[in-house]
Amino acid sequence: MAEITFEEFTQVEIRTGTILEAILNSKAIKPAYTLTIDFGPLGIKTSSAQITKNYSPENLIGLQITAVVNFPLKRIAGVKSEVLVLGAYSENKEVVLLTPAESVEDGSLVG
Task: Round the average pLDDT of the chain to a whole number and report it.
Answer: 95
What is the model's pLDDT at position 87? 96
How much is the average pLDDT of 46-70? 97
What is the model's pLDDT at position 109? 96
Domains observed in the chain: 12-105 (2.40.50.140)
Yes or no: say if 82 and 73 are a contact pair by the CB < 8 Å rule: yes
**Rounded Cα–Cα distance for residues 17 and 74 (Å):** 19
